[in-house]
Structure formats: structure tokens, C-alpha cells
Amino acid sequence: MKFNHIVLTVLICLLSACATNPATGQQDFVMMTEEEELAIGKQVFAEMRKNMVLLPDSDPLARYVDSVGQRVAATADRKDLFFRFHVVDDDTINAFALPGGYIFIHRGLINHMNNEAELAAVLGHEAGHVTARHSVQQISKARAYQTGMMITSIFVPIPQAAGMVSDLMATAILQGYGRDAELQSDELSIRYLTRAGYDPKATIGILKTLKRLDDIDTKERTDAGEKVEKYHGAFASHPETSQRIEEAIANASALQGRTGMVNREALLAAVDGYAYGDSAEQGAVVGRRFLHPELGIQLAFPKDWVITNSPMALTARIRQKDVYFMLTMNEMQKRLTAEEIVKRMFTDRHILKLEKGVRSGMPYAHGQVRQSAPKVSQAMIDAHVFIDGRKAYMLSMWSDRDQFNNYVDQFSQIANSFRRYDKVKDGDIPKITIYKWKAGDSWQSLAAQRNNLLGRFTAEKLAALNGLGVDEKPAPGTLIKSVK
């Protein structure tokens, strides 16, 4: 009885922590004042920008995004907030918002928009998360859970309860908002961009593009040999993109007859000349090559290798086979030889062969190592180390020991291709260009003209870049985005 009394008392306290949602007018459960919300947003923004590359506020694309965002924000609820719009300089297809009006959109997503109204729709969607205080509700639920954990642990001790609660709060926020919140933000986006004078059907267009990109990603990963799984855990409450498209069509239908600005040419001009994928500072995959202008290196892969660039490493694998590659770079704190680095990477008893020399003007070492490796327990590793000043580049290639000899020539070909980057000889990273569609053009022919520089599915990617399926064509004379 005493336990029930305590729980009832706490529930009464929690139920009293309700506030009117400024965007919907409904009562929402919150455990945070607006002042605290703004302080959290400011703090998180300061921490996040340490690990993200943002375009400077003076950059033309950043200024363009801010001008569109401010136009939409002027029509949104919570007009007393100062909204801040930032462009993350990478190829991720994403946008997100922090408490207090900090909104981020990645360059990769902007590249895939086909008019200004679509940009307004995405920025309006993120503004909707802020005006409806979705992050505040998320944190409030985690705090309520924490309170319940505290009470429960009085009677049923739970080891490391505090750590579990903090992990849960972080996971809840990082996993994004739930189904209802996302659909609500879609609805608010249509409301805001319509008020701002944009075509409300733009939300449908960008959602369809997101669906195409998701399909291409699944196709690429399946083609490479990866197992593609959809997450169905405790936080898998995000609505499917197809359902969001249906909801957006229904909401836009309610505004039937309402038209507005599209401003296609303005968006095309804004992205013209910007990197398609990763920037020069991050390196870029160009067909079967990897270029890193900032580090000044490049290398190439044989046919059928699937290449993936990430902030941590460059990885690759032979399509549908358990044969792998990884390139990492370390800034050395003291002078070491390439041979010493190989020995530090592996124990002497695992190194079967070790040689040293100079390649491409860089001190070099090569070892063959009998040791387990990621995804291959009984592996043979072909390890190469290049020294360039303070930088040590480590190339590791591996397969099952019984199959190793079948791939030695390819491993050697990759290692031999590693050299310093020369923009004149090696070309630039892929960039957005504007092209006028001609009669007889197809996405396949355009991909062939570009030497399939975006990989095996270049045609599909070029079509998606323009908001179309690979079997759809724009009218002759239409300006489209291409990559070269």
C-alpha cells in the first residue's frame, strides 16, 4: 500500500507538468521551462559544432539557405524565437533541429532538391519540430522514466541505474522523433510553406526523392553483399516514407487550388559548382578511384570493388565476396619507420613476411600477416604502410587464408596505385553542374558520358538527383543537375 501511495503521488506530480503546445494548441506533457529549453539548445549547439564541418555564414549556399529558412520561420508559430539555419558540409541526406531554433541541413540533401519550395518544405519540417517542442517532449519522457526508475529502485535495487537512465535519454534523442511527431511536422511544414507563399505540394516531391534514395542505398548494399536489415527495436516508431508521402498528399489535397512559388532556377543556381559527395577536405570516391585533395593522396581499385568513404576510414570489398580493404591515417607524434609501424600493428609471431623500400617517393613497408580480421576469423592480411612527413597511411587488405592467393594480384594492384594526388593529372572531386537535356538523352547515356563516376548505379543516382526515376525523362530543353 505504501508503494502504491508513492507511485500515485508521483503520477499526480507528473500529470501536473503539462503545457499548451504552441503549434497545436493541445496539452503536452513537459518537464522543462522554455528558458531551460533555450539553454539546452545553446549548449548542445556549441558541443556539436566542434565535430561538424559547417559552411561559413558568408558562404553563398549558407546565405541562400538562411534566407529561405527565415522566410518560412517568419510564418511559423513561436515568432519570438530567433531561428538559426546552418549547412553541414557533407553528403549526408539529413536535416535536424535542436531545441531553441537551431536548424541544420546537410549539403547532400540540398543537392537532391529540385526547387526552392522543396528546400522550404524541409526547413519548415524542422521548424515544426521546434515550434511543437518535440525535443522537449522527448527529454520530458526520459526524465519521467528517470523518476520512475528512482522510485522503483527503492524497492527493487537496480545496479548502475543512473547510467542506464542517461544512456536511455541519449538514445531516445539520437534515434529521432516518433511517428506522430514526424507526421505532425510534415503537416506543420505544409502550413508554414503555404503561408510563406510556396507551393504546398513541394513536401510530396522531397519525400518521393527520399524514398528513391533509400531504394538506391538498399540496392547498392545488397549488390555489394551486405545484409540489409530494417531496425525494429523499441525506438522504431518512425513512419515509413511511403506513409508520409500518403499523409502529405492528403494534407496538400486539403489546400487544393492553392498554388505558390517553386523557384526551380534559384535552387539550381545555388547548388551549381558545389561538391556532389564529400568535400575536398573529406576525400571523394570517383568511379573506381579515391581522391583526397586535402591530404594529397589518391588510389584506384580493380573492377567489382565497392568503395565506401567515411570519416573514420576508407573501406572497400569485392562485390558479394568476403574480401576487404581499409585505409586509415595517423598523425605520428614521434618519428617511426614504416617497418616499425607494421610491427606495432601486428605481433612478430603473426608476421610471415616483411619488406621495406620507397614507393611513389614515400618510405614504404609491406607485410603479410596471419591473423583474424573484421568479418573473417581465419584471415590472411596484406598490410602496407606509407610515410608522408608526419602522416602514416595504413592499407590493409584481407580474405580467408585459403582464398588469399586468389586475390594477391588485386591487393598488389591497389597498393601500387597509392600515390600523391595531382589535380591536373587525377582530376577534381565530383561537382554539381547544370546541363540542358536534349532529345534522345537518357540517364544511362548521361552516366556513360560521365564514365559512371558515381559507381555502378550512376544512372539511378543522376535521375534521383533531379527528382525522377531512372525510367522518367525531363522534356528537351529542361535544365537539370549533372555531375562531373
| Each residue's pLDDT tens digit, 380-438 | 999 999 999 999 999 999 999 999 999 999 999 999 999 999 999 999 999 999 999 99
Cell representation of residue 451: 564514365
Domains along the sequence of the chain with CATH: 2-271 (no CATH), 284-426 (3.40.1000.10), 432-483 (3.10.350)
Q: What confidence score (pLDDT) does residue 171 get?
A: 45
Q: Does residue 125 sit in helix, strand or coil?
A: helix
Question: Can you name the residues that pair with 368 across neighbouring β-strands?
Answer: 353, 382
Q: Is the pLDDT of residue 454 over 80?
A: yes
Q: Work out the average pLDDT over 2-31.
A: 47
First-to-last alpha carbon distance for the chain, in angstroms, is: 73
pLDDT digits 0-9 by tens, 350-387? 999 999 999 999 999 999 999 999 999 999 999 999 99
Query: Quick one: cell of 483?
Result: 555531375
Question: Among 206, 201, 205, 203, which residue's Cα sits nearest to residue 259?
Answer: 201
Q: Give the C-alpha separation, 387 to 342, whole Å.
A: 12
In angstroms, the CA 261 to CA 263 distance is 6
Question: What pLDDT score does 338 carry?
Answer: 97
pLDDT at 440: 96
Please tell me the predicted confidence (pLDDT) of residue 154: 45
- pLDDT category at 180 given cuts 50, 70, 90 is confident
pLDDT, residue 99, reads: 85
Give the Cα separation of 449 and 70 in Å (integer): 40
Q: Which one is predicted more confidently, 10 or 202?
A: 202
Whose cell is 592467393? That residue is: 405
Q: Can you give the pTM of this predicted structure?
A: 0.80
Q: Decide if 419 contacts 178 (C-beta within 8 A).
A: no
Name the pLDDT band for 163 (thresholds 50, 70, 90): very low
Average pLDDT on 37-52 reads 84
Q: What percent of the chain has pLDDT over 90?
A: 61
Q: Rounded to an integer, what distance in angstroms lies between the CA atom of residue 141 and that of residue 165?
A: 11
Cell of 339: 617497418
Mean pLDDT of all residues in 245-267: 74
Whether the predicted pLDDT of 160 surpasses 80: no
pLDDT of residue 165: 38
State how far the alpha carbon of 93 is from the alpha carbons of 74, 87, 122, 263, 416, in Å.
Answer: 25, 12, 12, 21, 34
Contacts 24+ apart (CB under 8 A), 436-445: 436/477, 436/478, 436/479, 436/480, 437/473, 437/474, 437/475, 437/476, 437/477, 437/478, 437/479, 437/480, 438/476, 439/476, 441/473, 441/476, 442/473, 443/470, 443/473, 444/470
pLDDT exceeds 50 at position 162: no
State the chain's maximal CA–CA distance in angstroms.
80
The pLDDT assigned to 168 comes to 42
The per-residue pLDDT for range 193-208, each reduced to its tens digit, is: 889 999 988 888 888 8
Query: What are the percentages of helix, strand and coil residues in the chain, rounded to 5?
Result: 40, 20, 35
